[in-house]
Amino acid sequence: MHTRILQINEDSLNESKDIILNGGAVAFPTETVYGLGANAFDGSAVENIFKIKGRPCDNPLIVHVHNDYDISNLVSYVPEYAKLLAKAYLPGPLTMVYKSKGKVSPAVSCGLDTLAIRVPSHKGAQEFLKHIGLPVAAPSANVSKHVSPVTAEHVFSDLNGKIEIILDGGKCVGGIESTVVDCTSDIPVILRSGLITREMIACVAGDCGEYSLKEGESARSPGMKYKHYSPLCETMLFDFCDRKKAEKKYEECIAAGVNAYILCDGATANSIKAKKILNLGESEAEIASNLYFKLREGEKKAELIIAISPEKQDGVMAGVMNRLTKACKN
């Protein structure tokens, strides 16, 4: 199959609609990362997405809908706090999990009785979803366990030959996947951290829990248990307090002829004596936005990425730390 990267216009949207209505998959941009979308009502189209990615079949997908879509078609109960969250943060990088009405294919939620719904704010994503006119099930458009794609070229390098079209919406500004919040309990519970932070959710909903997987327990969000987001080269992660050890490791590598790069934020980069640095930038938004971009740049030119954690680890940095830890887990 020949894979084409297309600008978003009437022609490419018409072609995308044909593909989706015929059971195929199309990659499209969102404000977080690129998604690989299929018709959520079509079981074999959804199953095909799992095959294309090599995704484990117990890791459910998020359904993406246009801003005007009435989600009461798909879910049975929307608590008051979820309505407030939707009003405050949608469209945007927040995915909400509800009790499902069972209208979409059971393959979307891998047999769970819940459904994750997301309304992306990216202009191209909204145009795509409006044009399709159906809920679109979409995981990130990477090969399973690889770093999520934040440019059309990243999608191409993972899925070339496996899909027909990649809609190009430029570099994703958010840079890490949406916050996933479970809205089936009395209070919202974060299943995956992201750009909409725990503090932002608690501020609107009055309270916010955070779910962590305990040893031996079955995961409430099955995606949590998998190794994720890993670059193709070797990686190591040093805590901010151990940044001098990271610098020493880098020096040893360079002396031994190992092509190592340090990945860290701008402030840390200024305090470190290393020539080869993958600089994530200064502000929290920049660091999140550049994380996957720099991991993908790093895997192309480095044999080893020596990552240093940011000093601050709450708010948006909680999401960055979650991804960085998973990227560097062996």
Judged by the rule CB under 5 A, the positions of this chain that interact with Mg ion are 140
Q: Is 254 in the site for ligand TXA (CB under 6 A)?
A: no
CB closer to Mg ion, 140 vs 309 = 140
DSSP label of 330: -
| CB closest to ligand TXA, residue no | 223
Give residue 7's Cα distance to chain centre. Answer: 22
* Residue 14: both structure tokens together: 């018409």
Q: Is 60 in the site for ligand TXA (CB under 6 A)?
A: yes
Span near ligand TXA by CB under 6 A; candidates 40-48, 154-162, 172-180, 196-204: 172-180
- Type of residue found at 326: K
Q: Whole-number minimum distance, CB 222 to ligand TXA, in Å?
A: 5
> Containing H/E element for 203?
helix 198-205
Pick one of 25, 49, 61, 246: the residue that binds ligand TXA (CB under 6 A).
Answer: 61
Give the footprint of ligand TXA on residues 13-42 (CB under 6 A).
Answer: 30, 32-33, 35
Residue 166 touches which of Mg ion, ligand TXA, none (Cβ within 5-8 Å per kind): none
CB closer to ligand TXA, 95 vs 151 = 95
State residue 55 phi and psi, 5-degree precision: -85, 140
Work out the angle at residue 211's Cα, subtended by the Cα atoms of residues 53 and 65, and round it to the nearest 5 degrees: 50
Span near ligand TXA by CB under 6 A; candidates 18-26, 108-116, 158-166, 306-314: 108-116
Q: Is 268 in the site for ligand TXA (CB under 6 A)?
A: no
* DSSP characters over 118-184: E----HHHHHHHHHH-S-EE--BSS-TTBPPP-SHHHHHHHHTTT-SEEEE--S-SS-SPPEEEE-S
Q: Is 114 in the site for ligand TXA (CB under 6 A)?
A: yes
Q: Whole-number minimum distance, CB 59 to Mg ion, in Å?
A: 8
Return all residues near 180 (Cβ < 8 A) that are at least 6 apart. 62, 95, 97, 116, 190, 191, 192, 194, 221
**Which residues would be at the binding site for ligand TXA (CB under 6 A)?**
30, 32-33, 35, 59-62, 95, 97, 109, 112, 114-116, 118, 120, 138-140, 177-178, 180, 191-192, 221-223
